[in-house]
Amino acid sequence: MGRGGLLPDELCFRPTPDAGKSCRKASDCTGFCLADSLTCSAVVPQFGCFEMMTEDGRKAGLSVD
């Protein structure tokens, strides 16, 4: 449990089973495939602005609040 997003609501942050695993596209991960490191995100939901890999292997910017 923790607080996240623009509203300080308490949320359940879940660890992803593939955290840190190498990835090239969105479906390689249960969370996000992070473009800067080409690794799967550690938790869901993930807040903030970051670049992720799309299903066709392209970078896309995303802001989640």
pLDDT tens digit at each of 65 positions of the chain:
666 656 677 777 899 999 999 999 999 999 999 999 999 999 988 888 999 999 999 999 988 87
Domain ranges within the chain, ordered by starting residue: 15-64
Instruction: For residues 39 and 23, give the distance between their C-alpha atoms in angstroms, rounded to a whole number.
Output: 5
pLDDT at 33: 97
Against a cut of 0.85, is the pTM above it? no
pLDDT at 11: 76
Q: How many angstroms from the chain centroid is the CA of residue 26?
A: 10
The neighbouring-strand residues paired with 58 are: none
